[in-house]
Amino acid sequence: MSGRCILVCAGEFRPMNIEKRPQDFVIAVDGGLKYLMECGIEPDFLLGDFDSLGEEFSDIVAKYREMGEGHFLQLPVVKDDTDTMAAARLGIRRGYKEFMIYGAMGGRLDHTMANIQTMVWILRHGGRAFMLDVNTRVTVIGPGVFEIPEDFEGTVSLFSLDRSLRDVTIRGMKYEVKNAAVPNDYPVGGSNETLPKGGSKGAYYSISEGTGLLVMTEKLLNPHH
């Protein structure tokens, strides 16, 4: 499937451009509906327990409820899945492999961690997810090669979500390594930088074993110097 599954959640959200292509599938995840309304984007699907939506959205919720199960799913308040996890399951069931997740960082740390774990689940079910903010892109990578987007300029940090990442190789960045280990109890992978000339063209990270969290922060070069 060529389209992307776009999840807009109820975490912190700063106004930004959310591009909806014709083949994309947009899910309003509970309170994320109000962010989509602010951006002028009509979701394809509305999902959640709706504990974070005010009465002013009751007519919209009723509209999607009437549209039926192809566009609406109300979840119980007491459940094992978070609303974002339920949305990820829906996207995977519909055949989507690329997930763009907005409104999933900031605010409550436990919600952010839950969303990171949701990205791990997506990766292990054959997909790739990105959490996006105004100047931050976060993704989860597994064994293989991850190419840094050519339009990216800034700081890249890699953290282990397993006991250790094995055979980590970094090329095209300020700090390069070959066949290194990145443990989960020491932040040795933090604050790498794209090159001042050429940006991130040709830059990549590869690992042979483990699951890592990759955080890309735009134009945050040497802020501590």
Q: Provide φ and ψ at 121, rounded to 5°.
A: -60, -45
Which ranges in the chain are annotated with CATH 3.40.50.10240? 4-134, 140-218
Cα separations in angstroms, 204 against 6, 144, 150, 190, 217 = 25, 10, 10, 15, 15
Burial 177-187 (b: 16+ CB within 10 A, else e): beeebbeeeee
Q: Predicted confidence band at 224 (pLDDT cuts at 50, 70, 90)?
A: very low
Q: How does strand 212-218 pair with strand 136-141?
A: antiparallel
The CATH number of the structural domain formed by 140-218 is 3.40.50.10240
Q: Rounded mean pLDDT of 195-208?
A: 85
Q: Predicted confidence band at 130 (pLDDT cuts at 50, 70, 90)?
A: very high
pLDDT of residue 45: 97
Give 21 or 10, the one with higher predicted confidence: 21
- Please list, in sequence order, all residues whose beta carbon lies within 8 angstroms of the beta carbon of residue 187, skipping any fewer than 6 positions away: 157, 159
**∠ CA 113-117-121, rounded to 5°:** 165
pLDDT tens figures, 12-65: 888 888 889 999 999 999 889 999 988 899 999 999 888 667 777 888 888 988
Q: Domain 4-134 maps to which CATH number in 3.40.50.10240, 3.90.1150.10, 3.30.70.260, 3.40.50.720? A: 3.40.50.10240
Q: Rounded mean pLDDT of 106-124?
A: 92
- Please list, in sequence order, all residues whose beta carbon lies within 8 angstroms of the beta carbon of residue 17, skipping any fewer than 6 positions away: none
State the pTM of this model. 0.90
